[in-house]
Each structure stands twice: as structure tokens, then as C-alpha cells.
A and B are shown apart, each in its own frame.
Chain A
């Protein structure tokens, strides 16, 4: 996930990383990473990234922080539950993959280069 400040709201962190804070810790699917204490409304990226084992790369001069994905189990997926995916179409309208629940979906990646 990308951030423009070293701290983000709890909601932005959850939406950006796909990890949700629960009493058990930070969870995705059936997997939970225990946390020393429940985070508040404001999440300090360097602290949470270190505690969860997520990579963090930044360019503070350009107000940019990037939290990378997890590498739990040494696999790209920790759960078969499809992650949240919200992307714009050509006109900038956001499309939420959740709208297609109830259908079989094939997500096809292509590139114009």
C-alpha cells in the first residue's frame, strides 16, 4: 500500500494492505499475526510494519511510503479468499470486485507494452 505520510488511519491501513485488526491481532482469511496491543485510530507505518514483518520503503522528501505485501508461508497467497480489489475503469469510475460475488470470475492481466 502507498501512503503520503508516515502515519495513516486504521481504515486506510486495513483497506490498503488487506489486513484487518481483530482482537486476535492483524488478520487476513484464517491467518492472524498477534500484536502486542490493539492499534489505535492512527497507525504508525514503521512500527506496524516491523511488528507484522511487512517491508517498508520510503522517500520522505517526496512524501511517499510504500508498505509491501506479506511473505508469510513464503507464498504470494496466505488465504484463498480473494483480496479486496478496487480499480478504476477508463473513465476513472471505481469498480469493486465484490460486485461480482455470485458469479464465477476470471481476472485477466494484460499490458499495453
Chain B
């Protein structure tokens, strides 16, 4: 059984309080690390009415906010929630860690699903992509801008499609911590010291 994981579905719930309002923009940054986890930052600025509704429902109840986010992302294990509100500017930033966001298949290829058919993806740099989305279920009232940053270890990043026709990212990534271990490091260190010491000793003997 393959588990589909749609990180792009996230955080729509944060927007439900202003479904009836004017168009709102949501900015979501996702930084993927070298083992497929992600640090996610969601930020948005609202008008006065939206802010009032949001504060009364979720903004003043971080536990409820955390629970709503967890329920909207059943595939993931989340922690380290941090909510920062900027009351003066009616905006907030929510950050959290999501584990196991990227999958790695039997051939060692990493994937991350956008859960969107023909996703509107723009390559910003070799390691950064942007996705703009306006979910139909909200009648175009919400525009989400995702930026997805891949780690330097990621190689051959490409956009592909999965069996359901959804756009996915595929990439290779060697584990930075897995290529060497302490035993190997110790061995190399001893060999270098031994060789150096021997060399110095031989040179010293010759000069004598």
C-alpha cells in the first residue's frame, strides 16, 4: 500500500474563517532537510474583519490551532509549533516541523507530492521552486504561494507525474551523515598520524 502524502493540502483550514471574505493571500515556505523532513512556515496578513474572526476562533487558542493543523495533515507527525502574531499589522506566522514529508522508494529516488494535477510550478533557483495555487473549494478567494526549498544534497531535481497524474518532485539525495562513520574517521586519523610520525622519524634519522 502506497501512502499518498499531500503536503499542499495543508493550512487551508487556516483560511476557512474567511471563506466569505475578499481574496486572501497565504505564503507557505517549506524547507526540506537532508533526511526528508520539512520545516514549514505559514504566514498571512488579513483585513480587519478577517483578523477579528481568526483571532476569536484560532488566533487566541494556539492549542486549537495546533489540533486543526494536525487533523488537516493526518499523514504526518508534527511538532515544534510556534505561533507569532503581529497584532499591529494583523498578520501571523506559524512554524512547525513535519517529519517524513518526502518518501524514498526502493530505487532510492526521493519524491514529494504536490497533490495537484499540472501544478503551476516555477523554478526560482536550482534548489527552490514556487507553486501558486487557488483551491477551487474556496471559489478562488484564497491564493496560496508555496516555496519549496531542497537541501544542497539534493540532485537531479525534476518535476514528474505520479500514477494519479498529480505533479510530483523527484530527486536523488545521498545521506550526508551516512557515508562515513567514527570507526572510519578514527582509522584515517591514526593512519595519518602514524604515517606522519614515521616520515618525520625517518627524515630525522637521515639528517643524523
A binds B: no
Binding site for B on A (CB under 8 A): none
